[in-house]
Amino acid sequence: MNFKNSKELYKKGLVNLVGAVNSPVRAFSSVGGNPLFIKKAKGSKIIDVDGNVFIDLVVSYGPMILGHRHKSVEKAAKKALKNGYSFGASTENEIKLAKIVCDAFPEMDKVRFVNSGTEAVISGVRLARAFTGKDKIIKFSGCYHGHQDALLVAAGSGLATLSLPGSKGVPEGAVQNTLIAEYNNLESVKAHFEAHDDIAGVIIEPVGGNMGVVIPQNNFLKELKDYLKTKGALLIADEVMTGFRSKFGGAQEVLGVTADITCLGKVIGGGFPVGAYGARNEIMEQVAPLGAMYQAGTLSGNPIAMAGGIATLSELKKQNPYDKFEKIGNTIEVILLTAAKKYNVALVVNRFGSMMNPFFTKSKVTNFEEAQTSDTEKFAVFFWEMIKNGVFLPPSQFEAWFLNSAISDKDINVIAKATDKAMLAVSKI
């Protein structure tokens, strides 16, 4: 494949963009080479500025669950555009999307729309503190909850990809109320409660998606929720990645647990900038204008995002592609493991619903420490061979792959052939 135009755009981008990108992982720092610049996408395919066509397993890090430019979503967005782009006032579609979202989460009575997953988490954490009257929040090493100061510590993919322990510009005071626990280790949570009496809650990705795909083990989430009840603390589920990905609703329902506060993003806007946080009435009534917890946003409930979200979730409910996702996911998992065995490459594959991730390690991966045993040099070789053979992957060992309902049997064949060539290349280093 030829990447000439991407290379030229990268050089131009360096002049006025930081690193020629607007999000660090796009810089390809952990895999080397120049980032690809994308021109367009349709269905299961994404096309770069050099005309190279790829099967897309990034799908904008999750939201394009129906594939790119689904006709229903595109039609709804175009219709909304004709009425205006932003009003700074309420619209009927906000009410319609709110009902769809609340109906999908059994314990969610009310929801507040915001503009991103990061904003949803900021608000969800603030809400937990407002409701409990306590300050400290426990998060898990390797879980990423956006780039807010208070949670930008031990934060998974972006920081792990760049080998950064944290971020400059975050003062000590911003993280003094953040406590770090180990994913899948309830005792590490209990230790914090034994040492502190002012913990408002625990925030967690029900399935870790920013240290690769890491799945809760041995009823970890259920036992965590039960323990938090005894302490009067809230469970905050960051379902920005997992929401609507394993079923129509949240991963927490699949895993047998109900969070007190749920944060959403990505898919509920059909690819347009959106986020949301929701909970039962007694918690959400803390939020202004009903309560004293202030949160606002001029573009929150943007009419284009609301229209895209309604169309996406309506079509998703109609398609009900979750059995298809399970079948495709299993097929790709077998493809990866078979190729790895064929070429004697150490590989572990973690998968949950339509999310999956191969780790280049011999170790079982159940937390961030185990994920970091992965050979990132091997992943970099694997990544570029997959790119050269027509499969677009996240440029990081620690990012989840995402499926979409537009993937065809022909696409699976492309993925299989690319995987075989990529594993062969990995076996030679």
Report the run of H or E that residue 7 belongs to, with start and end. helix 4-16
User: Residue with structure tokens 């070429």?
Assistant: 343
Pick from 205, 94, 192, 202: which is nearest to 145 by CA? 205
Please confirm, yes or no, whether 197 is among the known catalytic residues: no
Does 225 qualify as catalytic in the annotation? no
Q: How far apart are the C-alpha atoms of 306 and 297, rounded to whole Å?
A: 15
The token pair that represents 61 in the structure block? 């890090």
Which runs of consecutive H residues, i.e. helices, occur in 141-206? 157-161, 172-175, 186-195
CA distance 170 to 120: 20
Catalytic residue among 144, 183, 277, 322: 144
* Token pair recorded at residue 335: 């493809």
Helices (H), 57-156: 71-83, 92-104, 117-132
- CA pair distance 311, 66, nearest whole angstrom: 11
Contact in structure between 29 and 37 (CB atoms under 8 Å): no
**What residues contact 258, with CB distance under 8 A and at least 6 apart?**
106, 107, 225, 252
Find the radius of gyration of the CA atoms of the chain: 21
Q: Is 266 among the catalytic positions?
A: yes
- Let me know the angle formed at the C-alpha of 270 by 264 and 274, rounded to the nearest 5 degrees: 45
Q: From the candidates 266, 277, 322, 378, which is the catalytic residue?
A: 266
**Nearest-angstrom CA–CA distance, 62 and 399:** 11
Helix axes 71-83, 303-319, angle to 10 degrees: 160
Hey, which residues does 276 pair with through a beta bridge? Answer: 113, 264
Helix, strand, coil percentages (3-state) for the chain, rounded to 5, are 45, 15, 40
- Please report the sign of the dihedral spanned by the C-alpha atoms of residue 366, residue 371, residue 373, residue 378: positive
Distance in angstroms (rounded) separating the CA atoms of residues 108 and 34 = 43
Q: What does the alpha-carbon distance between residue 212 and residue 232 come to, in Å, rounded to a whole number?
A: 31
- Cα–Cα nearest to 250, from 205, 218, 212, 287: 205
Residue from 238, 260, 375, 411 carrying the catalytic annotation: 238
Sign, CA torsion 353/356/362/364: negative
Give me the active site residues, please: 144, 238, 266
